């Protein structure tokens, strides 16, 4: 029985990542790259991933505890399944053997929260369950905010105490709906394993980017590429708008997919003083 991959398992799961990893083997995209991705739009992240063949990385139609507030961090994944007594008993025994249970009382949603560190985002596959699928309330959300240093969570399921969670100004929780019931009738099937959120497969260490549009998941080995593309796109947008405002070029010249040589040369000169 293994609900948590060991270092070898995580390395085998993410072979295209050649950078640093945490002690458990989860890919660690650098803080500097994550900082460059802050404020990126969904569209800016989408294009380079599409070109790389990753066309199923976006999930929309979320509720948010801090609507419009961006979210970014490294994914810690947790998978839950509907309760089945024999499987639940095996999972509880696995947990007790690792000291995850206290006095015989096991709170399985705590296991994922306690795995979080600064810079993380908790990604929970609760298979869309809202009633009795309320993964966190305001107490656990406070723990998430504290452990992630203002990060947050993406929960394909429910939350409770939504008003209290919304008071955590630094933390945005993307979720499917709020309900007053407590979490029940589910069992953790995996921690830091592949999970499904909507139509996306999410792996531990993916960069989670939440925007007003929705959530996009960037594979670690593409994070630098996405950062470079977004920086170039933002510069091109700023250049194009400035030249349109100055009436140097027409919208037809700027909106075209590939600029002509004259505009490209103008942009190359402009960008030297506008980084």
Task: State which residues form the domain around 244.
Answer: 225-273
CA dist list (Å): 78 to 3, 29, 121, 129, 249:
10, 19, 11, 14, 51
Indicate the average pLDDT of the chain.
92
Sheet order of strands, 158-159 included? 134-136, 158-159, 177-178
CB-based contact 175:65 (threshold 8 Å) = yes
Residue 73, in any domain of the structure: yes
Q: Are residues 68 and 105 both part of a single domain?
A: yes
SS3 of residue 80 by DSSP: strand
Q: Are residues 41 and 104 both part of a single domain?
A: yes
What number is the average pLDDT over the span 246-252?
A: 89
- Of 180, 198, 219, the position where a domain reaches its end is 219
b/e per residue 36-67 (b: at least 16 CB within 10 A): bbeebbbebbbebbeeeebeebbbeebbbbbe
Per-residue pLDDT of 107-149, as tens digits, reads 789 999 999 999 999 999 999 999 999 999 999 999 999 999 9
- Of 219, 242, 260, the position where a domain reaches its end is 219
Q: Are residues 212 and 245 both part of a single domain?
A: no
Q: Are residues 248 and 160 both part of a single domain?
A: no
SS3 of residue 24 by DSSP: coil
Q: Are residues 260 and 207 both part of a single domain?
A: no
Neighbouring C-alpha atoms within 13 Å toward the C-beta of 28: 11
Q: Which burial class, exposed, middle or buried, applies to 221 when counting CB atoms under 10 A from its CB (0-12, 13-18, 19+)?
A: middle
Q: Are residues 181 and 266 both part of a single domain?
A: no
Which CATH number covers residue 38?
3.50.30.40
Residue 249, in any domain of the structure: yes
SS3 of residue 98 by DSSP: coil
Instruction: Tell me the helix, strand and coil percentages in the chain, rounded to 5.
Output: 40, 25, 40
Per-residue pLDDT of 178-227, as tens digits, reads 999 999 999 999 999 999 999 999 999 999 999 999 999 999 999 999 99
Q: Are residues 148 and 172 both part of a single domain?
A: yes
Residue 2, in any domain of the structure: no
Q: What confidence score (pLDDT) does residue 104 get?
A: 53
Q: Are residues 32 and 53 both part of a single domain?
A: yes
Residue 77, in any domain of the structure: yes
Assess whether pLDDT exceeds 70 at residue 103: no
The pTM is what? 0.91
Q: Are residues 132 and 233 both part of a single domain?
A: no
What number is the average pLDDT over the span 24-50?
A: 94
Round to whole Å and give the CA distance between 187 and 84.
8
Residue 117, in any domain of the structure: yes
Residue 1, in any domain of the structure: no
Q: Are residues 208 and 230 both part of a single domain?
A: no
- Of 183, 204, 219, the position where a domain reaches its end is 219
Say which residues have a Cβ less than 8 Å from residue 218's Cβ, sequence separation at least 6.
37, 45, 49, 57, 206, 207, 208, 209, 226
Q: Are residues 199 and 252 both part of a single domain?
A: no
Instruction: Report the number of distinct structural domains present in the chain.
Output: 2
Q: Are residues 120 and 237 both part of a single domain?
A: no
* Among the listed residues 199, 37, 188, the one whose alpha carbon sits nearest the alpha carbon of residue 122: 188
What number is the average pLDDT over the span 238-263?
A: 88
The residue behind tokens 């979080």 is: 116
Residue 203, in any domain of the structure: yes
């Amino acid at each position: 029985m293994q609900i948590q991959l060991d270092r070898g398992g995580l390395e085998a799961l993410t072979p295209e990542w050649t950078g640093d990893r945490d002690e458990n083997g989860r890919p660690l995209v650098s803080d500097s790259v994550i900082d460059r991705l802050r404020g990126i739009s969904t569209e800016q992240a989408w294009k380079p991933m599409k070109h790389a063949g990753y066309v199923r990385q976006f999930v929309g139609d979320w509720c948010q505890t801090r609507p419009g507030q961006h979210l970014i961090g490294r994914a810690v994944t947790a998978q839950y399944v509907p309760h089945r007594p024999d499987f639940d008993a095996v999972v509880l025994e696995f947990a007790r053997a690792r000291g995850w249970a206290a006095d015989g009382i096991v709170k399985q949603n705590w296991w994922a929260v306690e795995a979080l560190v600064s810079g993380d985002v908790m990604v929970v596959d609760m298979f869309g369950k809202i009633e009795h699928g309320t993964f966190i309330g305001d107490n656990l959300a406070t723990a998430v905010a504290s452990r992630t240093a203002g990060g947050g969570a993406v929960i394909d399921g429910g939350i409770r105490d939504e008003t209290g969670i919304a008071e955590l100004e630094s933390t945005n929780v993307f979720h499917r709906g709020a309900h007053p019931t407590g979490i029940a009738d589910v069992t953790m099937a995996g921690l830091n394993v592949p999970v499904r959120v909507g139509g996306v497969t999410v792996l531990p260490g993916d960069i989670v980017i939440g925007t007003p549009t929705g959530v996009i998941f960037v594979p670690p080995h593409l994070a630098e590429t996405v950062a470079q593309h977004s920086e170039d796109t933002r510069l091109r947008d700023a250049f194009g708008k400035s030249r349109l405002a100055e009436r140097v070029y027409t919208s037809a010249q700027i909106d075209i997919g590939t600029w002509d040589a004259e505009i490209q040369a103008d942009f190359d000169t402009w960008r030297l003083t506008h980084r």
